[in-house]
Amino acid sequence: MAESIGEKLRLAREARGIALRDISDQTRISIRYLEAIETDDYRRLPGGIFNRSFIRAYAKFIGYDEHDALEDYARTLRERGESDDEGSRVHQSLVYTDYGGSHSRSPLWTLLLAILILAALSLAVWAGLHFYQRSQHSRGRSEPEMNEAPLDASRIPGSVMILSAANQTIIKPKTIKPKTIKEGPHAVIV
């Protein structure tokens, strides 16, 4: 049997003193793929057009005739009973834009579905805004009521009101001087 393409490429590379790393760096073909080509182990390669492209780039880099390399590759595969495109079978993935036969939807149904989705989203946004406005309105009404002084404390002359987060207390002192004294973070005596 004649030398395979892998052996021919390896011998040509070694005769020129070129390392596999140099070929890999220049052609950007993985060293393991280059080794698979040299050992005629094409199952380790991606297959199909990639195999032919790798062999062509390898042959061109080492100065071997590309056309002869591809012919020898095809001959090697025929001798083994393998197809040139084996390993690169076409796998067609389904894409939503592909028509899958009778499962296609009419444009009217698509339009109605889009309108229904838009209406649901609009309702959700409206409900969220309505809830937010009601919570802001009720919060705005309750805050001033808590900060306002009760009418009883404001009508008692000379009274002191102590405000805290827990409760409100009204104290009526016996004598009040006209100056203002501040004591503590929550108490103000007037």
Q: Are strands 187-189 and 168-171 parallel, antiparallel or unpaired?
A: unpaired
User: Per residue in 37-91, pLDDT tens?
Assistant: 999 888 898 888 899 999 999 999 999 999 999 999 988 888 888 766 544 444 4
Both structure tokens of 98: 């592909």
The residue ranking higher by pLDDT, 46 or 177, is: 46
Residue 8: Cβ within 10 Å count: 17
Amino acid at 164: S
The residue ranking higher by pLDDT, 116 or 150, is: 116
Q: Which long-range contacts (CB under 8 A, 24 or more apart) does 116-125 make?
A: none
Check if the beta carbon of residue 66 is closer than 8 Å to that of residue 59: yes
